Amino acid sequence: MREIPLILICDDDPQILKSLQLSLKSGFELHTSSSVAQAKIMAKAHEYDAAIIDLNFEGQELDGVHLLDYFGKVSPGTYLIVLSGDQSVKRVVEAMRRKLFQFIHKEGDYYADLYSSLNRSTQLKKAKEQQAIQKYLTNSPAVKEVLKKAERIIQNKQDASILILGETGTGKESLVKHIACNMKKKLVSANMATIGKETAESNLFGHERGAFTGAVQNKIGLIESANNGMFFLDEIGDCSLEVQSKLLRVIQEREVQPLGSNRARSINVSFIAATHRNLKKMVQNGEFREDLLQRLNTFPLIIPPLRERLEDIIFYANLYLEECGDESVGYTISNDGIQELLSYSWPGNIRELKSVIQRFVVLSNKTILDADAVKTAIGMGESSSQITATTKIEIIENNLKKDELIKAITTCNGNKTQAAAELGINVRTLHRWVNKFNIPQIFSAANTSKL
């Protein structure tokens, strides 16, 4: 969890938004929205610790109850606080049926109650996250090997940079939290995919008063705020070349220079980065600095996708049934449900699996997750239509993958470890591809010993 809790306030009254910002800014990082539609976009882009939501939005198509439901689907870990003076009994009753942390009426001096509610909810969230990240949960032998490498880094208290690679939704952020927690280091994060190019340098490195229009006071950057701890560069592949250059200097020199300042300040920060992108290809295309990759790649950790971790599919399905379901209901998975879960490709990985289980628990009246229930829950996802009609696309992608595989193996003279590293995959995946495309003959007899 971030050092300062991130809160979303959604209310169509600009005076309410302004007053809440003034009263809450000392303890929280605040985002505001005056429309439900905009708040939905923000909820998908950020992981909020708590959200303060009004119910009545005059003249808007959507209301606060809709936003409560949306948070329940896309961000179930966010604590929901309704702050409303709504006179609609029906809407209030509907809101109360949702999973709320607290309902606060807009009457009298409600600021103290709201501040207290935010403190309690964010502390609970932090406690739960700390408890959850003490151990990275998995049943997969491949992931356990990754954890063994991470454990060696933790035990040796290495300060060199760590780079975590893997598809979106494989659990990269959870591994980062696991490492930081077990190293007993505070963790500060920045998602390079969501930080705007025009504000990236100010956010990361800080700025001095007057450095640019609107810089009315000094600001400590996120990297410096991680001093004596760990700084997580999420989605590092989305970082601009200009910012990459400055990050390289910070990592090399262990000092940061705020915008508008002529003096650099020393920092004691460990760096950890993650991405779903192939950084080696980006280097070849001139999209990523090779020297920065070398600095970040001291300890590479590659998390395999869920489709290669069959042991984890059922493990996580059962875990999320218990986590998302009513404690009084005993959810089970039928044999045909297990087969359906195992046969699906899970392009969204663990994140998609959790969403599927949530949809089943919330929208189905069943207590048994059978094959039909799995298909229905998967079909409700935004990408389902793309997933079910991909035969031609898969053929094209497989041909490209085969050509890429042959080229990598040939270039590396049949050395499986080097070829896997070149492709950004693990050795187990490389062997599976070799068998899938029936190309073992390209390994010459001279290189058999390398396999």
Residue 125 belongs to domain with CATH number: 3.40.50.2300
Query: How many folded domains does the chain comprise?
Result: 4
Tell me the C-alpha distance between 370 and 214, whole Å.
Answer: 57
Q: Report d(CA 67, CA 8) in Å as an integer.
A: 12
pLDDT at 439: 64
Residue 346 has pLDDT above 90, yes or no: yes
Last residue of a domain, one of 365, 385, 405: 385
Residues 252 and 378 in one domain: no
Structure tokens at 219: 């600001």
Identify whether 120 is part of a domain.
Answer: yes
Give burial (CB, 10 Å; 0-12/13-18/19+) of 100. Answer: middle
The residue-averaged pLDDT of 314-334 equals: 85
- CA atoms of 295 and 82, how far apart (whole Å): 46
**Residues 272 and 353 occupy one common structural domain:** no
Helix axes 64-74, 89-96, angle to 10 degrees: 10
Q: CA-CA distance, 132 to 245, in Å (whole number)?
A: 35
Flag whether pLDDT at 96 surpasses 90. Answer: no
- Could you report the per-residue pLDDT of 27-61, keeping only the tens digit for each? 899 999 999 999 999 988 888 999 999 988 988 98
Do 190 and 219 belong together in one domain? yes
Q: What number of CA atoms fall less than 13 Å from residue 442's CA on the CB side?
A: 22
Domain containing 423 — which CATH number? 1.10.10
Angle, vertex CA 245, rays to CA 240 and CA 248, nearest 5: 120
The DSSP annotation for 377-430 comes to HHHTSTTHHHHHT-HHHHHHHHHHHHHHHHHHHHHTTT-HHHHHHHHTS-HHHH
Residue 342: what pLDDT? Answer: 94
Give the Cα separation of 437 and 399 in Å (integer): 9
Under a CB-based contact definition with an 8 Å cutoff, are residues 208 and 261 in contact? yes
The pTM is what? 0.59
CATH number of the domain where residue 363 is located: 1.10.8.60
Residue 437 has pLDDT above 70, yes or no: no
Quote the CA–CA distance of 279 and 292 in Å, as a whole number. Answer: 10
Q: Do 363 and 417 share a domain, yes or no?
A: no
pLDDT of residue 267: 94
Q: Is there a domain that residue 316 lies in? A: no
Q: Does residue 110 sit in the same domain as residue 161?
A: no
Q: Does residue 1 lie within any of the structural domains?
A: no
**Whether residues 108 and 147 fall in one domain:** no
% of the chain with per-residue pLDDT over 70: 88
Q: In this predicted structure, what is the pLDDT of residue 72?
A: 84
Shared domain for 17 and 123, answered yes or no, is: yes
List the domain range (segments joined by +) for residue 363: 321-385
CB 313 within 8 A of CB 272: no
Q: Based on the domain organization, do 258 and 359 belong to the same domain? A: no
Let me know whether 288 and 178 are in one domain.
yes
Is residue 308 in some structural domain?
no
> Are residues 141 and 123 located together in one domain of the fold?
no
Query: Smallest Cα–Cα separation from 193: which of 223, 231, 163, 237?
Result: 237
| From 39-43, 77-81, 317-321, 420-424, the region with the lowest mean pLDDT | 420-424
End position of a domain, from candidates 341, 361, 385: 385
| Domain CATH number, residue 279 | 3.40.50.300
Q: Is 70 exceeded by the pLDDT of residue 86? A: yes
Q: What is the Cα–Cα distance from 382 to 320, expressed in whole angstroms?
A: 20
